[in-house]
A and B are shown apart, each in its own frame.
Chain A
Amino acid sequence: MAGYDNMPDMELYQPVQIDDALALAARLAERGWLVGGGQDTYGWIKDRAKRPEALIDLNGIESLRGIRETEDGIEIGALTTLTELATNPIVNERYSLLSKAASVVASPQIRNAGTVGGNLVQDVRCWYYRRGLDCYRAGGNLCYADTPEAQNREHAIFEASRCVAVTPSDTGPALVALEAQMVITSANGTRVVPAESFFVGPQINIVKTTVLREGEILTAVRIPAKWANAEFYHEKVADRNVWDFALVSIAGALRIEGGNIVESSIVCGAVQCTPRRLTSVERAIQGQPRNEATATLVAGMASQGASPLNQNGFKMPLMDNLVTKLLTA
């Protein structure tokens, strides 16, 4: 791929009111591109793999920033940076699962610029797709990552449908585990979607990873008090500690009463196109203590039903071992 130094000519809009941003998003539709931290954006455009005609820079909209307490938990503005999320006292105290997840995204500089909204709606990292090939996700008729010779070590082991890319988000699995609500605004009003149904796989929409439609902006994330101060476990396994995306990550919240797990919410990242909730494991550990015996009881359950590709079979024991670590931590 040619190494371009600059992005091609585009318009840039810097609205300071959410209403102006919504009007622009509605008017420009697929010709426009919403920019938060821009850390997923500029590579696409520099590589000429995506060609928006206009950027809508949301950074001037103050109402999209910051973390507020609400009647039932907290609300995080979509433009809150990952560094803010990782260091915010309220998030650290009550939802350390999320601050931990935010603290392992990419590198310090990317966390300083990158936003939680951007981390949730960022596009998949399949290199065939990002190189600009005409794969299914790009509107073509082939998956380059699912051929006999394909390099697919990082790809999906569940729920693939033509496309085998996985969710790259670190905060996504944590927010699904915390049963967060996504606040989506458009010129026509606001709708609130549970985190779990915010993400969609290729069987539902092969060109988008979320339910966001043209003209809509993810404006905030609400975390209910339900999981506040629960027992949490987060681990991201990647080839490198910095910059890298997860090979498999796990985000879990456990409520323990009288020595037994009464409720749990356990989610894996990077195993399919959406964060994968491990409902069978959650059911099996209910009423059990958080210990080695329970880990043995559910051994192998997380990866049940997986369909690995040529090079990513290792993700199955990795998932199972992460569940063991969660239960024995």
Chain B
Amino acid sequence: MVRAWRRTHLGSEADRATFRALHSASLASPALREGLTAGSAERSIRHLRALLGTPALALTDTAGLLAWDGTGQHHEARVPVLVTATVERGGTRSFDRADLPCEEPGCPVRTAVVSPLVVEERVVGTLQAFAPYPTAGLARATDEVAQWVSGQLELAELDASRRRLMEAEVRALRAQISPHFIYNSLGAIASFVRTDPDRARELLLEFADFTRYSFRRHGDFTTLAEELRSVERYLLLEQARFGERLQVTLGIAPEVLPVAVPFLCVQPLVENAVRHGLESAEGVGHIRITAHDRGQECVIEVEDDGVGEDPERVRRALAGDASLDSVGLGNVDARLRNAFGDDFGLVVETAPGAGTKVVVRVPKFAPGVHP
């Protein structure tokens, strides 16, 4: 019964061989997707050898051995020579007994097939299969496996560059204290130097603290308390410039101050609110910042009563259209989604002439998120 079931469901011997090969490949791929390192080579090589069925297999980078699986480890010393020879030629090569001198009787490592691993047209390492006899089949199989490994390594490269892009965006945001803000703040401070030197000194210190926080190098996350402190400094400096024209109301539930939030996720929203609520409109601008405790999550709202915005333009800004002048809106949205999942993107409520309200939801706990 069991056998009959197996035959019908798992197919012929050839089918099963295919399944085994695919399974080995799927086991090897997670490690390889981390890139070519000693650690990832160590974890994937067992499955790669199962795929090729050779007595010994080696993975190398262009300098030397990363991992060896199977028998005949006394040949490890010869590996760099094979690497150099293959990298020079740039294609799959086979080596015979003359290249692999061996004293041990019965050692299965007599010949080798070495294929280069190529990522973006650059050789990053080699795959070396060792066998007692050279066969065309082994050469072909080694070549194919090497190409598959190269494919996985290229995907790893892609992942890494996506991550680098994200980090670069945060760095850009950190450096994105706008020149206008610096110019205007220093101008406002200068105007107090004679009339109110004490206030000028305090403002300068606030300015120093604000820039120190914004240029901070380490950590992707901070606490809401830290973030709000920076917002507070920013608003003090803006108030020095706008005076009574800028009215700020804050309502912060103290329970949510320890929540971990992405670094610089509120400050750009406040900067937007000041810009849209005040700079482009006459008269007094009101800005309202609230943070509520909602059980498992915390809700932060930044609201202004300025000129508002066309919802379609906001949608494009959130989708990543950099030509619009909403400072970091798309960036903040992307980082929130990246950290907490797609449920936690920015929500923007706006219409021309009706002000703007940006709502940020942050879960109190998310795996891997620490301030």
A in complex with B: no
